Amino acid sequence: MLNKYARAFFTRVLTPFAAFLIRRGVSPDTVTLLGTAGVVAGALVFYPRGEFFWGTVVITLFVFSDLVDGNMARQLGRSSRWGAFLDSTLDRVADGAIFGGFALWYAGNGNDNVLCAVSIFCLASGQVVSYTKARGESIGLPVAVNGLVERAERLVVSLVAAGFAGMHTFGVPGIQYLLPVALWIVAVGSLVTLIQRVVTVRRESAEAEAAEAAASKSENASQGSEATS
């Protein structure tokens, strides 16, 4: 849902900014690299210290680079395999930094081994969810399923919860519990999504192999008929 509607909305909003960067001679790859560096810095500098509000503010400022660089590439007509590869790879780096920052907090001053483990699971499952689709497509399957929780949902749920949880330092009572709840939601949602994709790949693989077997049988029957005649 977020990929379908929110991405389209923010793409329209950010188009003038993307055009401005193009006029200034900035390349899409530069935006991708700077955006990822900003997200990583915000996550690994602020989150391990429990400064969730300011960390989220910094991350949010840079996370939209994921939309800006693609918008710039389209305006320039330079969409390329390299750009898509770089963008996808650095997305995984940014996601790892965010959930790694949560894990570092709970392993340290957050003093909660269970939530540290949940954060690590969110980090790992997010990477595996992305890998299942990429791997399925690499062996020629469509992987025609998105799943319950994709990258956009993981980021929105986690960052919104972290930002609000950080307002606890400003005296807002009880709001710090939003982040643990969000991490559990992301963990369960990612597990469901992983299962959905694995099941889909298994079904598509079986269908593809059955189609190939049927085609091979038909071809052999045709060849046999020709030999008999």
CA distance 158 to 125: 14
Task: Tell me: is residue 29 an annotated ligand-binding position.
Answer: yes
User: Is residue 91 flagged as an active site residue?
Assistant: yes
Q: Which strand (E) or helix (H) includes residue 208?
A: helix 178-228
Candidate list 43, 46, 91, 165, residue with the active-site label: 91
Q: Contact 83/63 with Cβ under 8 angstroms?
A: no
Cα–Cα nearest to 4, from 127, 146, 137 = 146
Torsion, Cα of 39, 159, 191, 68 (10° steps): -50
Task: Tell me: is residue 112 an annotated ligand-binding position.
Answer: no
**Which string of DSSP letters, residue by residue, matches 59-73?**
HHHHHTHHHHHHHHH
Q: Contact 105/47 with Cβ under 8 angstroms?
A: yes
Q: Work out the angle at residue 149's Cα, subtended by the Cα atoms of residues 201 and 112, and round it to the nearest 5 degrees.
A: 120
Cα–Cα nearest to 80, from 28, 12, 21 = 28
Q: How far is CA 213 from CA 137, 205, 219, in A?
A: 20, 12, 10
Task: Tell me: is residue 228 an annotated ligand-binding position.
Answer: no
- Single-letter code of the amino acid located at 196: Q
Paired tokens of 81: 């395999």
- Single-letter code of the amino acid located at 44: L
List residues forming the annotated binding site: 29-32, 66, 69-70, 74, 80, 87, 91
What positions carry a catalytic annotation? 91
Known binding-site positions for a CDP-1,2-diacyl-sn-glycerol:
29-32, 70, 74, 80
- Positions at the binding site for Mg(2+): 66, 69, 87, 91
